[in-house]
C-alpha cells in the first residue's frame, strides 16, 4: 500500500496539490498531498443560464446555485472527465489511485452494446447502451441512456462535463426487448480494466482505467482472438460521479479537485476535448514506482 | 415468492361492470372471514410506437405493456405478448423510455383496492380504472397462497380454494363471474418457481381478455 507520511491517508483528509508545470514540482506534489488539510472551497458557478439539450433547462442564480422549474428532481445527471494514459504507466497510476482512494480496486470487464433506433422509429433518432457486466458470477445487465450535456456560458466555466444519465438494471433478455422494439446494433465493445469507487466531499466518485476492444465476431467476448484493441498501448481513464440538478456544482468541484491529484500522470478533460498524454507522465510514473518500491505495498 | 393467481371479472352477456359488483365482491371476501388489511395498487401502461409518417406499422410491435407491482415498487415489467417476452428492470427504465421518445404511453390503468388476509391466503380485490378518466374498466382479484412458490405444486390447493370462492360468490345474484386464465409461462421463458415476472404475465393476459370483452360489448 502506498504510504504517505507513514500512514495511508484518505483523499478527504488531504488538500489538493497545486498544479505544477514541471516534473520536479509534480513529484513533490504527489508527496505533498499529505501536508495540508482540505478546506478548499471553489468559486461557485455564476452563470445565469445553462441548457441541457434533452428538453430540460437549468436556470442558475448568481452566487448560490438554484435550479428552477423545468428540470425535474428525477433527472439523473453525472459529472464526467476523461483522459488517456500509456499502458506502461497504468501500474503507476494504479499505485497512485490506491494511495489516494484508500479502497481496493475492482476488476472491470464489461461488454457494451450500442444500439440505435431504425430510421422510421421516433421523431428523432435515439441511442441506447446495453451493458453486460462480465465480472459477476451471472452476467448482470444494465440499460444506460446518456443524454445531452449542459451548455452555455456557465457550463464552459466548469472543467467537467455535466450531462443527464439514467441507468436501469434489467433482466438478461433486455437486449432482445430493444431489438424487438426497433433498435439495431450499431457497434459493440469489450472494456477491460479496473475501477476505484470512493467518496470525496459528498461526491460518489468512480475512476475507471480500461482499454476498449472491437469485436471481430458478433458478441465475441470469450476469446482474445475475437477482439482487437481500439487504441493499442493506450488506456482510457474516466472519472465520473452521479449528480442531481441540486448538487451538480459541488460534485463537479469535487471531481475537478480530484483530477488535480492525477495531473502529473495524465490530464483529464471533458469528453471530446482530447488533450493527449502528458509529457511528465514517464518521469512521474518512474518516481511513483520507485517510491512504491521502497514502501510496503 | 408465493404463488399467485390473477383473476378478472367476466360480466355475463349484455352486462357491464359497475361499482355495485365490486362492493358485493368485497363483502363476500369479508363474509368468508377475510380480514381487511389495507390498500394496494398496481399500474399498467400501454406503450405505442412513435413512427414517422412513411413508416410501415408492421415494422414495430403495435403496443406493449409496462407494469408496476406493489410488491416491488422499485421494479418495472415490460410484457410483449405477441413475442412472448417479459423483462424485469429497475423503475428508472420508465425515465429511459421517456427520454428515447420512440414509444409513448397512450393509456394508463390503475388496479387498486383492498387487501385481505384469510389464513395462508392473501386476497386482493380491486377496480381497474383509467388514470385519465377514473371510469371503471373492470374488476380484478389476486389470490395468493403464501406457503408454496411452485406453480405446479400449488395447482390443487389453488383450484380448491377457487372453487370455495366461486361457491361463496354464487350465493349473491351477480351478473358475471371470476375467470382464471393460465398463461403458458414456459413460452415466456419462465420456470415453475413463481416470480413477479409471472404476475406481470398474468396481468398482461387478463388485460387482453378485458379488452376483448369490452370490444364485444361495444359491437
Chain B residue numbers with beta carbons less than 8 Å from the beta carbon of A117 are: 100, 102
Name which of A94, A99, A93, A105 is nearest A34 in CA terms.
A99
pLDDT computed for residue B95 by the predictor:
96
Chain B residue numbers with beta carbons less than 8 Å from the beta carbon of A166 are: 92, 95-96, 99
Residues 32-91 of A with CB under 8 A from B: 54, 74, 76
- What is the Cα–Cα distance from A286 to A99, expressed in whole angstroms? 16
Residue A136 CB: number of other CB atoms within 10 A? Answer: 10
Please write the tens of the pLDDT for every residue from B143-161: 999 999 999 999 999 999 9
- What is the Cα–Cα distance from A265 to A89, expressed in whole angstroms? 8
pLDDT computed for residue B74 by the predictor:
97
Whether B99 sits inside 8 A of A147 (CB atoms) is: yes
CB A77 within 8 A of CB A252: no
DSSP A219-233: T--S-GGGEEESSTT
Residues 140-159 of A with CB under 8 A from B: 143, 145, 147
Query: What is the ipTM, given to two decimal places?
Result: 0.93
Q: Check CB contact of B193 with chain A, cutoff 8 Å.
A: no
Three cell numbers written together for B38: 389495507
* CATH 2.60.40, applies to B3-218: no
Whether A164 sits inside 8 A of B100 (CB atoms) is: no
Q: What is the CA radius of gyration of chain B?
A: 18
- What is the Cα–Cα distance from B49 to B91, expressed in whole angstroms? 20
Give strand ranges (E) for chain A: 49-52, 56-59, 77-86, 106-117, 127-133, 140-151, 161-170, 183-200, 203-215, 227-229, 234-243
* Contacts of residue A224, Cβ cutoff 8 Å, sequence gap at least 6: none
Whether A170 sits inside 8 A of B99 (CB atoms) is: no
* Phi, psi values for residue B23, rounded to 5°: -65, -40
Residues B202, B208, B213, CA angle at the centre, nearest 5°? Answer: 125
Chain B residue numbers with beta carbons less than 8 Å from the beta carbon of A131 are: none
Q: Strands A203-215, A183-200: parallel, antiparallel or unpaired by DSSP? A: antiparallel
Helix H or strand E encompassing B31: helix B19-31
Which site among A72, A74, A115, A121 would you substitute to test the B interface, given the most B Cβ atoms closer than 10 Å to its Cβ?
A121
The SS3 call for residue A280 is coil
Chain A residue numbers with beta carbons less than 8 Å from the beta carbon of B101 are: 122-124, 126
A173 CA to chain B: closest CA distance, Å?
6
- Nearest CB to A54; choose among B49, B52, B99: B99
Whether A174 sits inside 8 A of B87 (CB atoms) is: yes
Look at the alpha carbons of A222, A223, A227, A229 in this order and tell me if their dihedral is positive or negative. Answer: positive
Q: Which chain B residue has its CA at the smallest distance from A171's CA?
A: B88
Quick one: pLDDT band at residue B212, thresholds 50, 70, 90?
confident
Where chain A has pLDDT below 50, the residues are 1-51, 53-74, 294-297
List the domain boundaries for chain A. 11-293
- What is the Cα–Cα distance from B163 to B140, expressed in whole angstroms? 17
Chain centroid offset of residue A52 CA: 19
Look at the alpha carbons of A225, A229, A230, A232 in this order and tell me if their dihedral is positive or negative. Answer: negative
pLDDT at B72 over 80: yes
* Contacts of residue A133, Cβ cutoff 8 Å, sequence gap at least 6: A109, A110, A139, A140, A141, A142
Q: Where are the alpha helices (DSSP H) in chain A?
A: 23-32, 90-101, 153-157, 174-181, 248-262, 281-293
Domain A11-293 maps to which CATH number in 3.40.1400.10, 3.40.50.10190, 2.40.320.10, 2.40.50.180? 2.40.320.10
* Phi, psi values for residue A22, rounded to 5°: -125, 170
Which site among B48, B51, B102 would you substitute to test the A interface, given the most A Cβ atoms closer than 10 Å to its Cβ?
B102
- What is the Cα–Cα distance from A221 to A109, expressed in whole angstroms? 9
Q: What is the dihedral of CA A37, A41, A42, A46, to 10 degrees?
A: 180
Average pLDDT, chain A: 77
Q: Check CB contact of B164 with chain A, cutoff 8 Å.
A: no
- What is the Cα–Cα distance from B126 to B138, expressed in whole angstroms? 9
- Nearest CB to B61; choose among A117, A169, A180: A180
Query: Between the CA of residue A242 and those of A132, A162, A163, A239, A273, what are the distances in Å?
Result: 20, 10, 10, 11, 21
Residue B49 CB: number of other CB atoms within 10 A? Answer: 20
- What is the Cα–Cα distance from A15 to A100, expressed in whole angstroms? 11
Three cell numbers written together for B167: 361457491
Please write the tens of the pLDDT for every residue from B160-210: 999 999 999 999 999 999 999 999 999 999 999 999 999 999 999 999 888
Whether B96 sits inside 8 A of A122 (CB atoms) is: no
- Nearest CB to A120; choose among B59, B88, B189: B59
List the domain boundaries for chain B. 3-218
Q: Which chain A residue has its CA at the smallest distance from B84's CA?
A: A177
Name which of B106, B164, B160, B110 is nearest B139 in CA terms.
B110
- What is the Cα–Cα distance from A225 to A216, expressed in whole angstroms? 8
Chain centroid offset of residue B193 CA: 19
A112 CA to chain B: closest CA distance, Å?
17
- What is the Cα–Cα distance from B176 to B24, expressed in whole angstroms? 12
Please write the tens of the pLDDT for every residue from A141-186: 999 999 989 888 888 888 899 999 999 999 999 999 999 999 999 9
Name which of B96, B74, B75, B98 is nearest B86 in CA terms.
B75
Please write the tens of the pLDDT for every residue from B19-36: 999 999 999 999 999 999
* Phi, psi values for residue B101, rounded to 5°: 55, 30
- What is the Cα–Cα distance from B19 to B26, expressed in whole angstroms? 11
- Nearest CB to A169; choose among B90, B100, B189: B90
Chain A residue numbers with beta carbons less than 8 Å from the beta carbon of B86 are: 173
- What is the Cα–Cα distance from B137 to B127, expressed in whole angstroms? 8
Whether A128 sits inside 8 A of B78 (CB atoms) is: no
Residue A123 CB: number of other CB atoms within 10 A? Answer: 10
B92 CA to chain A: closest CA distance, Å?
6
- Nearest CB to A168; choose among B85, B86, B96: B96
Chain centroid offset of residue B200 CA: 7
Whether B60 sits inside 8 A of A182 (CB atoms) is: yes
Amino acid at each position: 500500500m502506498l504510504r504517505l507520511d507513514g500512514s495511508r491517508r484518505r483523499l478527504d483528509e488531504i488538500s489538493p496539490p497545486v498544479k505544477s508545470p514541471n516534473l520536479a514540482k509534480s513529484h513533490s506534489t504527489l508527496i505533498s498531498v499529505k501536508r495540508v488539510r482540505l478546506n478548499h472551497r471553489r468559486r461557485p458557478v455564476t452563470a445565469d443560464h445553462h441548457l441541457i439539450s434533452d428538453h430540460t433547462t437549468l436556470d442558475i442564480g448568481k452566487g448560490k446555485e438554484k435550479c428552477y422549474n423545468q428540470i425535474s428532481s428525477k433527472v439523473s445527471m453525472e459529472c464526467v472527465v476523461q483522459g488517456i494514459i500509456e499502458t506502461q504507466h497504468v501500474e503507476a497510476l494504479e499505485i497512485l489511485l490506491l494511495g489516494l482512494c484508500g479502497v481496493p480496486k475492482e476488476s472491470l470487464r464489461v461488454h457494451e452494446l450500442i444500439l440505435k433506433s431504425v430510421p422510421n422509429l421516433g421523431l428523432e433518432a435515439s441511442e441506447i447502451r446495453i451493458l453486460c457486466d462480465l465480472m459477476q458470477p451471472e452476467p448482470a445487465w444494465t440499460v444506460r441512456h446518456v443524454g445531452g450535456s449542459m451548455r452555455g456560458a456557465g457550463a464552459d466555466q466548469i472543467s467537467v462535463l455535466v450531462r443527464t444519465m439514467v441507468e436501469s438494471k434489467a433482466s438478461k433478455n433486455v437486449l432482445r426487448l430493444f431489438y424487438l422494439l426497433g433498435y439495431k446494433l450499431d457497434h459493440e465493445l469489450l472494456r477491460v480494466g479496473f475501477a476505484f469507487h470512493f467518496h470525496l466531499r459528498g461526491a460518489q466518485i468512480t475512476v475507471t482505467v480500461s482499454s476498449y476492444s472491437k469485436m471481430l465476431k458478433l458478441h465475441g467476448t470469450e476469446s482474445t482472438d475475437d477482439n482487437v484493441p481500439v487504441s493499442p498501448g493506450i488506456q482510457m481513464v474516466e472519472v465520473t460521479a452521479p449528480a442531481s440538478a441540486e448538487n451538480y456544482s459541488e460534485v463537479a468541484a469535487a471531481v475537478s479537485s480530484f483530477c488535480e491529484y492525477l495531473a502529473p500522470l495524465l490530464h483529464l478533460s471533458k469528453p471530446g476535448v482530447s488533450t493527449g498524454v502528458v509529457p511528465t507522465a514517464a518521469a512521474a510514473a518512474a518516481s511513483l514506482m520507485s517510491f512504491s518500491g521502497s514502501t510496503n505495498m | 415468492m408465493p404463488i399467485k393467481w390473477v383473476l378478472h371479472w367476466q360480466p355475463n352477456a349484455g352486462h357491464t361492470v359497475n361499482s355495485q359488483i365490486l362492493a358485493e365482491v368485497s363483502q363476500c371476501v369479508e363474509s368468508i372471514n377475510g380480514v381487511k388489511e389495507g390498500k394496494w395498487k398496481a399500474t399498467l401502461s400501454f406503450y405505442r410506437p412513435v413512427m414517422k409518417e412513411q413508416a410501415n406499422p408492421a415494422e414495430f410491435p403495435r403496443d406493449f405493456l409496462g407494469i408496476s407491482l406493489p410488491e416491488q415498487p422499485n421494479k418495472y415489467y415490460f410484457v410483449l405478448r405477441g413475442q412472448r417476452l417479459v423483462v424485469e428492470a429497475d423503475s428508472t427504465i420508465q425515465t429511459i423510455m421517456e427520454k428515447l421518445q420512440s414509444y409513448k404511453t397512450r393509456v394508463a390503468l390503475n388496479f387498486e383496492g383492498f387487501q385481505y388476509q384469510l389464513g395462508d391466503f392473501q386476497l386482493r380485490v380491486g377496480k381497474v380504472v383509467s388514470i385519465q378518466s377514473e371510469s371503471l374498466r373492470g374488476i380484478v382479484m389476486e389470490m395468493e397462497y403464501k406457503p408454496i412458490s411452485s406453480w405446479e405444486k400449488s395447482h390443487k390447493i389453488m383450484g380448491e380454494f377457487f372453487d370455495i370462492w366461486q361457491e361463496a360468490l354464487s350465493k349473491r345474484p351477480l351478473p358475471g363471474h371470476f375467470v382464471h386464465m393460465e398463461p403458458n409461462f414456459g413460452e415466456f421463458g419462465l420456470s415453475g418457481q413463481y416470480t413477479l415476472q409471472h404476475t406481470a404475465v398474468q396481468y398482461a393476459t387478463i388485460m387482453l381478455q378485458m379488452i376483448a370483452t369490452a370490444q364485444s360489448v361495444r359491437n
